[in-house]
Structure 1
């Protein structure tokens, strides 16, 4: 029985090593473009419905949490379908690896919002920019298993995050556009990069 357990553990380890060295093709351009549309729609709705986002931070951030959850669902559904199609037996390991790479940035974003909401509400205007910086770090963490050019999208979020912080520091106000537009551009970049790379000519295997 011990030999069987060891053999199974070795198989799992081998599959994990193979997955780590394989280009992940679970992210698709359609899902990325759709999440950009979600960001644009969210920004437009908040522009219409929230007269003062800074005075209604709960409505502002709930809107973006819903947008993030919907985007995650869209990406997750396509990721699972594409992974089954492109990675077959390695699909679960590849999905686990992809989630593992981005998860720290996602958790940090949620915890940052909770802590700032509870202990430093006067600094909530920083969150849109900080979230963009965290997204960039998540993308950079995933570069080794994605097309190399996704680094351009990571660089966009990195620069836009600091630019949004600098811009918002002038007024210390929340705006749906400083949240929405960077994500529309960033997700559109991701969609274009993945579309161009779909022929495998830009993917390290």
Structure 2
């Protein structure tokens, strides 16, 4: 390898390291807050009309799964648009760095419930807890590029997901509050964390 090629490779490594440790501002708190509002609406619908929207654990998984999928698409689309609008040469590498954390978790979040609904529907009550712990995993894994207070919603989803598994198991199934409260509070907490523009990590994608 020539010295020029070595220099180019070193520059690429430096850019990758910077992308993995610089504040990423591609996630919009407004989009996450909207998911929190939709979560609140769904929880209230399941409380008021349980026969229609909370008939079984499988129905819980399908309804909340659709919300999770729509939320992921909304957040991803917003992040891509904000990245394209940014005049920062680090924007694209930082988006790719964020995707390396989010995409595997999203695949797990989709594959697990599909397999459970297809082959073990009676175990559907474990899915919301798994979703919440996956969100926690993404939050903690993204700490280097997120505001420091992202640890609070990360901790919330970890604790609520763990508690939800035990509560659902003890009650013999899911309830609107066991499923809804963690998602409502957690998404509003993430929106609050993302709204922190005074982070000591400078750089990143700006709106």
TM-score by length of 1: 0.83
> Which stretch of structure 1 is more off in the superposition, 57-66 or 130-139?
57-66
Cα 1:38–1:7 shift into 2, 3 Å: farther
Q: Contact 1:50/1:56 (CA < 8 Å) preserved in 2?
A: no
Q: Contact 1:43/1:177 (CA < 8 Å) preserved in 2?
A: yes
Q: Contact 1:129/1:161 (CA < 8 Å) preserved in 2?
A: yes
Q: Any residues of structure 2 matched to 1:169-184 within 5 Å, and which?
A: 169-184=169-184
Match of residue 149 from structure 1: 149
Match of residue 166 from structure 1: 166
Task: State the number of aligned residues.
Answer: 201
Give the Å deviation of 1:153: 0.7
Match of residue 198 from structure 1: 197
Match of residue 124 from structure 2: 124
Please list every run of 5 or more consecutive structure 2 residues that lacks an aligned counterpart in the other structure.
none
Higher RCO, 1 vs 2 (CA within 8 Å, ≥6 residues apart): 2
Please list every run of 5 or more consecutive structure 1 residues that lacks an aligned counterpart in the other structure.
none
Secondary structure in structure 2 of the residue aligned to 1:157 = helix
Match of residue 97 from structure 1: 97
The answer to whether residue 134 in structure 2 is matched with residue 134 in structure 1 is: yes
- 1:14-52 CA-partner distances (Å, limit 9, x unpaired): 432321231111122212211111211222334445417
Q: Contact 1:147/1:204 (CA < 8 Å) preserved in 2?
A: no
Q: Any residues of structure 2 matched to 1:50-69 within 5 Å, and which?
A: 50-51=50-51, 55-69=55-69
Give the Å deviation of 1:73: 2.4
Give the Å deviation of 1:177: 2.7
TM-score by length of 2: 0.82
Q: Any residues of structure 2 matched to 1:14-53 within 5 Å, and which?
A: 14-51=14-51
Q: Contact 2:57/2:173 (CA < 8 Å) preserved in 1?
A: no
Q: Tell me, in whole angstroms, the C-alpha distance in 2 between the residues paired with 1:135 and 1:21.
A: 20
Cα 1:168–1:59 shift into 2, 3 Å: closer
Q: Contact 1:109/1:131 (CA < 8 Å) preserved in 2?
A: yes
